[in-house]
Amino acid sequence: MSVPREAGRGLGPVLVVGTGLIGTSLGLALRAEGVTVTLSDPSPTACALARDLGAGALETADDPEPAVVVVAAPPDVVGAVVAARLAAHPHAVVTDVASVKSAVLGDLLAAGVDVTRYVGSHPMAGRERSGAIAGRADLFQGRPWVVVPHEHSDPAAVEAVTVLATAAGGAPVRMPAHEHDEAVAAVSHVPQVAASLVAARLRDLSTDAVGLAGQGVRDVTRIAASDPALWTQILVGNAAAVSTVLGELHTAIGEVLDALDGLREDADAEAPGARATLAAMLADGNAGHARIPGKHGSSPTMYTTVTVLIPDEPGMLARLFADVGDEGVNIEDIRMEHAVGRLVGVVDLLVRPDAADPLCAGLLARGWNLTE
Amino acid sequence: MSVPREAGRGLGPVLVVGTGLIGTSLGLALRAEGVTVTLSDPSPTACALARDLGAGALETADDPEPAVVVVAAPPDVVGAVVAARLAAHPHAVVTDVASVKSAVLGDLLAAGVDVTRYVGSHPMAGRERSGAIAGRADLFQGRPWVVVPHEHSDPAAVEAVTVLATAAGGAPVRMPAHEHDEAVAAVSHVPQVAASLVAARLRDLSTDAVGLAGQGVRDVTRIAASDPALWTQILVGNAAAVSTVLGELHTAIGEVLDALDGLREDADAEAPGARATLAAMLADGNAGHARIPGKHGSSPTMYTTVTVLIPDEPGMLARLFADVGDEGVNIEDIRMEHAVGRLVGVVDLLVRPDAADPLCAGLLARGWNLTE
């Protein structure tokens, strides 16, 4: 899949400190671009695994000085590790990949560290799986990679981190730390808290009650399966920004509660405006949802869904995709729908709008059962 | 896909009042079972469309008396329509399919209606699309269909609605109205409010900030695209139960805010227990999430994911599924992952755990590039 690019050329040796998912994926991505990568991790086992996977060589005392050190350590030790590496590599640019940016810089400044050569960054990439074993070279491919200049940072250091992000396949976006932290509070940290808290409400339901769960609550709570230890660190690290956005959510829920209380059957009279409050809340949700970029790019990409019923028999999916291929249509996304208790094969094929009609006609002619 | 079953036998004529998504789908499902279905809707156009789709015949004055009348009207008129139909069809069992159950029964009792022949119900099925055109015969297939007996209901009426639910392909679950309403508040209505409110926080973000959105917030906010008018009615109809669960959510967010405020960089000292509060909240989310039934049944079904990198070329998906079929493995679910700005073909195949190792070996032998 990897196409040689110019991106990695001119990037000196990179030392990756921390060989979890992000560090290992970075090593894999950079090595695919011809960059020299060395690896370090407090766990020799984790480090050796990343090496075995091809993410780089183990760090030794004889290594040439790295041009860039990337600290991919757990959030609560990032500041200390960055400071240590700035001291250990007096000519290197040091960056980190933590999900929160103000706290790291604040810790370094509070410790009196010279941060000229430090430029934080944050690749917006991850997986529900963790560890070196989940690493992959394409993890950052096309994903935003936030580069965070600050008032003390050397422009050359900012440029070096930008080149690194590009070499790894990311799309660099420059943003001050507070802007980054406020943005991820809204697009990542508060959604995580909301998902966890909505899921927590299901914990003590009866089996019958939780049996009524459908796709909506599944989607809302999918990330509630995330690692509590990691997320505690992230929320602690971004406490101020998360608090602001979560406070807005708290206030908004209070308004919804007031509206609902004015509408209860046992209320003396329906509160004026209560329905309007609910409708406005839902409409604001529509508006916010519409701002989320599409899967493939920076603006919403609309695909048309072609829904095919398939008999639940071996080989039917292969036959379907062979037929789709014969029609010359590219599938942009797939969703399979199952019904509880019985395998009903319903496959949604998302295709470019201009391909939908020919595909439908072709599939119908081939005997497929389409809905809608 | 439709297999003739016994389910529809013995079910007398059914009148469906309201030919939106649910009413039309019900007509299609019942007719596939050999049930006689007539249709009624305040909009002659909507009704004729449902008829043309095959959901049933238009209601006429000469129709034989229906055995069961199903009111599939918008939530805010259900009570009135049920009352009218109980009066118009003095021997029929009348049910409705509204998402909220206590309010309908309460309205009928408040109006002094004899509710012996009324038994509410709620098929847990829906689509993001609405209207007759989105209807499909398999909509209820295997999905829970809540049947709601009450203290005045005739057991024969409860049985008739249960037979109807089964005939439509649903899995009947009996539950009193308050239990139903509390359950859907937790598994459906509060998740909707949370999704809408989290999405609303994105509305005024900068383009750069919202550009950092990843799959997590996409999932959390997917249902924020829902219809505000319909959802206002649902929330109004279930105000008391929603208020209870949403109140718990409000309190829990307040606790998270207190914890975060004790952790802010500018706090005098870290509040004791603040980290533990966050970790416990996230762990409760894990526990609640784990209670959601798997896609296929009433208990969580765990599949193993086999991740395949596929070149972004026409025909590769077909080749992959042909190879999977040749390996004799059944795919339980599929996810495709794309990277922003570039189509990287990463396909997650979810298979039964015992099929994963043979499938991996087989696919590797056939030259596929697997990750993990």
Q: Which domain-ending residue is among B229, B262, B290?
A: B290
User: Which residues form the domain of B135?
Assistant: 14-175
Nearest by CB to B211, which of A126, A144, A220?
A: A144
CB pair distance less than 8 Å for A202 and B195: no
Q: For B118, left (φ over 0), alpha (ψ -120 to 50), or beta?
A: beta
Q: Say yes or no: B168 and B191 in one domain.
A: no
Q: Say how many CB pairs under 8 Å bridge A and B.
A: 479
Assigned domain for A296 exists: no
A2-11, A234-243, A298-307, B336-345: which range is least confident on average? B336-345
Q: Does B313 touch chain A (CB under 8 A)?
A: no
Half-sphere exposure of A286 (CA within 13 A, CB side): 11
Residue B362, both tokens: 């087989």
Quick one: closest CA in A to B252, which residue? Answer: A197
Q: Which domain-ending residue is among A239, A263, A290?
A: A290
Domain of B309: which CATH number? 3.30.70.260
The pLDDT tens digits for A155-208 are 999 999 999 999 999 989 999 999 999 999 999 999 999 999 999 999 999 999
Q: Say yes or no: A169 and A237 in one domain.
A: no
Q: Say yes or no: A367 and A273 in one domain.
A: no
Assigned domain for A8 exists: no
Q: Say yes or no: A198 and A154 in one domain.
A: no
The pLDDT tens digits for A264-298 are 766 666 777 899 999 999 999 999 998 987 643 33
Chain A, residues 202-231, CB within 8 A of chain B, namely: 202-203, 205-214, 216-226, 228-229, 231
The pLDDT tens digits for B12-36 are 999 999 999 999 999 999 999 999 9
- Mean pLDDT, range A240-255, rounded to an integer: 97
Chain B, residues 227-286, CB within 8 A of chain A, namely: 228-229, 231-232, 235-236, 239-240, 242-243, 245-250, 252-254, 256-257, 260-261, 263-266, 274-275, 278-279, 281-286
Q: Which residues of B are less than 8 Å from A193 in CB distance?
A: 253, 256, 281
Q: Say yes or no: A286 and A309 in one domain.
A: no
Q: Which domain-ending residue is among A175, A203, A220?
A: A175
Quick one: pLDDT band at residue A136, thresholds 50, 70, 90?
Answer: confident
> What is the domain count for chain B?
3
Assigned domain for B8 exists: no
Q: Which residues of A are less than 8 Å from B309 in CB distance?
A: 1, 138
Domain of A271: which CATH number? 1.10.3660.10
Assigned domain for B1 exists: no
CB pair distance less than 8 Å for B200 and A290: no
Low-confidence ranges of chain B (pLDDT < 50): 1-5, 295-301, 338-344
Assigned domain for B216 exists: yes
Chain A, residues 19-78, CB within 8 A of chain B, namely: none
Quick one: pLDDT band at residue A87, thresholds 50, 70, 90?
Answer: very high
Q: Say yes or no: B238 and B149 in one domain.
A: no
Assigned domain for A365 exists: yes
Assigned domain for A241 exists: yes
Quick one: closest CA in A to B321, which residue? Answer: A318
Q: Say yes or no: B203 and B345 in one domain.
A: no
What ipTM does this complex have?
Answer: 0.77
Assigned domain for A9 exists: no
- Closest-CA distance, B226 to chain A, in angstroms, reads 7
- Closest-CA distance, B62 to chain A, in angstroms, reads 32
